[in-house]
Amino acid sequence: MDLIGQPAATPATGPTIIDGNQATFMQDVIEASRQIPVLVDFWATWCGPCKTLTPTLEKVVTAAGGRVRLVKIDVDANRALVAQLSQLGLPLQSVPTVAAFWQGQIADIFQGGLPESEVRRFVEALLKMAGGTMPAADLLAAARAAQEEGDIESAAELYQAMLQEEPEKPEAWGGLIRCFLAAGREEEAEALLAEVPAKIVDHAEVAGARSALLLAIEGKQASGQLRELEARLAADADDHEARYELATALNATDRRAEAAAALLDIMKRQRGWNEDAARLQLLKFFEAWGLDDPATMAARRKLSALLFS
């Protein structure tokens, strides 16, 4: 259905998650969808995937902040409704089935269990169709969650969606650059960094991504020399240059605690070596990892103990 010219969705004033049935379907779904997009979750008590999908739907709908409603329909308790909808062409032979309604008609549908990132993408597409968007804070949370789960593609798409809405969002720029880095695409990350608006170029999120990029480039050059560097240190424990390069290589392979330990070891052996290069590199690590990263906090405590001992 062509929705051009239809009114944009407005946030719901009532409950956003409800249990529906045959008696309330017209009011809860068809009529309500003229004001707000409505997801209908057709489920059953015996359905294993439903037990995972329904909580995910509830989480995503709650995060949408009243911009979409979820109506849950138990297919076994509403067989007459299921038969009626099936006659209208809605495939309900298997569950879970999720149908999206907007302006009184079916706008989209999916069947089977989906991961949270895919459910968010489905809801975001529905909201765009209805003239709305997911709240930026929830897009950011979803992007970071996808990134932590290793779903770099979904994270990048979410960051890009944020930038379409807010071109000067530093968290989105920093996150997108890190996605390119995680995919091993340093040149594209560098090109993206050059496009960051001047207004936010020194923001902590962007600065952290910049440090991560520089360390990735340095580490790529050193990571192939791990055995050689370890051999140099075995021959001479005071080869600070080898230990410094080893720290960079370890960081490139995400061995953060070991990387920090190598730099701290240099500082213990020779405070101020090479114009304080070890400490400055460690601070660069902190910036790249993030100030609230467990590796940062652990290494910072050790650095403080060393500096003030």
At 288, which amino acid appears?
A
Which one-letter amino acid corresponds to residue 224?
G
47 assigned to active site? yes
Strands 69-74 and 38-43, by their bridges, are parallel
Q: Could you tell me how far CA 85 lies from the centroid of its own chain?
A: 36
In DSSP terms, 40 is beta-bridged to 71, 99
CA distance 146 to 18: 28
The CA distance from 194 to 233, in Å, is 38
Question: What residues have CB less than 8 Å from 28, skipping those under 6 apart?
Answer: 18, 20, 38, 71
Residue with tokens 């009532």: 14
Q: What is the C-alpha to C-alpha distance for residues 180 and 186, in angstroms, rounded to an integer? A: 7
Closest CA to 56 of 91, 17, 4: 17
Q: List the catalytic residue out of 29, 38, 47, 215.
A: 47
Active-site annotation holds for 50: yes
Identified catalytic residue from 50, 57, 192, 216: 50
Catalytic residues: 47, 50
